[in-house]
Amino acid sequence: MAQLTDDCFAFGGNLTKVDDALSQLQSILTPIVNSEKVSLERALNRILAENVVASKNVPADNNSAVDGFSVYFDDVELGTETRLPVSGRAIAGIPLDRPQNRGEAIQILTGAVMPNGPDNMRPDTVVMKEDCAIDNGIVSFAAGILRGSNCRLMGEDVKLGQPILKEGCWLRPQEIGLAASIGRSQLLVMRQLKVAIFSTGNEVLEPGSQLFPGAIYDSNRFTLMHQLKSAGCRVKDLGILLDDPNILSNALASAADDYDLIITSGGVSTGDEDHVRKVVEKEGSLYFWRLAIKPGRPVALGQLKDTPFIGLPGNPVAAMITFMQIARPIILKLAGANDPVRKSFLVQSGFDYKKKLDRREYVRVQIKTDEYGKLVAEKYERDGAGILSSMVFADGLVELSEDILCIEKGDIVNYLPFSELGL
């Protein structure tokens, strides 16, 4: 008698490997949006559509990094106390109105321009206020100051003509701040992708409604909507569609006319009522629909008219993880972003685990520190693709490649923090 398998991913047919699928998609997908100018206030999490070159030096002139006293280092006594008369004051926005001469100190505040000097010389060092004593207009400080201390040099951050931001980069607060530092008030960015999203299933209900036997609340649409927003998309919620081929066909066709991308969850596997995949195959084209990934496997990528389509699994964890690994890279490519290099980290496994060959698996983990200060990945107690609480527990995923069959507690594993996956 044949033994039944306990692996729901094991039915016949070849599965597409994750890297093969992404490589195929990267070769055929191109950005589909144009550009627009936005203010810096609206630039966060947008994709830059231009190369930005510095139009000025930052800082624009030598300036003081601290409150203290501007001096010529050549006036500093070596190995003993230095004493200099204080004969002026410079503050940010109001520089000294004359050259600073040798043999004198100028009180200077943070951000103030370093004074000019005679004969193309300039003071080159600032002594911190805390290291000085003032007595009858004489400043004194101990030996040990180094030439150039506490002095910011013109252009040490950004030099005139230097490329500072590259087309296709993701605009974080630091990129926006750098643009502001050279005087830019606007940036040319890619227009946000307009994405339509809906869930499918006769058993799927809106949160807050009355459940009937066998019904579930729709969590996928809300997690995916916010994952889309974190990827910089404008999202249109099209609600829940019944498992009806005609309803699905009409909804998909309508969305294809109005949006840059369509995303669904559920209805892309092999069940009798999994109609989404069948509709896409009939009305458009399907590139692939089964990946060698767990949790996940039923992931459909295709096209309706000229609009890309991504069909994600119905199980909540599978939907989230396949969005991170498949949908998000596709979205960034379509939106004109540079290929993101997702950083992973080697950590110690705090669990034993077995898996199938030729399938990539993602294990939900939380990083803890052991008694020796080493980072250890602790696995959630259950593995099910429907256990959304595991994603709340986790702060990232352990990625197990296709060639791994098992790991043991203490093994070194590859850890992907959620911060690298758009969460």
Per-domain residue ranges of the chain = 18-33+192-334, 37-58+156-190, 63-152, 345-421
Instruction: State phi, psi for 161 to the nearest 5 degrees.
Output: 85, -5
Write down the pLDDT at residue 350: 97
**338 vs 166: CA distance, rounded Å:** 9
Q: Residues near 388 by Cβ (< 8 Å), separated by ≥ 6? A: 219, 223, 316, 317
User: Contact 260/33 with Cβ under 8 angstroms?
Assistant: yes
Write down the pLDDT at residue 192: 95
Write down the pLDDT at residue 339: 78
Write down the pLDDT at residue 2: 35
Q: Show the DSSP H helices in 74-219 as ranges.
A: 173-181
Backbone dihedral region for residue 358 (phi beyond 0: left; psi -120 to 50: alpha; all else: beta): left
**40 vs 34: CA distance, rounded Å:** 19
Fold of 37-58+156-190: Molybdopterin biosynthesis moea protein, domain 2 (3.90.105)
* Matching fold, domains 18-33+192-334 and 345-421: no
Write down the pLDDT at residue 6: 42
- 373: helix, strand or coil: coil
Give CATH for domain 345-421: 2.40.340.10
Write down the pLDDT at residue 100: 97
**33 vs 25: CA distance, rounded Å:** 17
**391 vs 193: CA distance, rounded Å:** 26
Write down the pLDDT at residue 232: 93
**386 vs 102: CA distance, rounded Å:** 75
Write down the pLDDT at residue 284: 85
DSSP 130: G
Write down the pLDDT at residue 5: 39
Give CATH for domain 18-33+192-334: 3.40.980.10
Identify the CATH assignment for 63-152 out of 1.25.40.10, 3.20.20.150, 2.170.190.11, 3.40.50.300.
2.170.190.11
Residue stretches of the chain with pLDDT short of 50:
1-12
Token representation of residue 420: 């690298």
Its pTM stands at 0.86
Length of the chain: 423
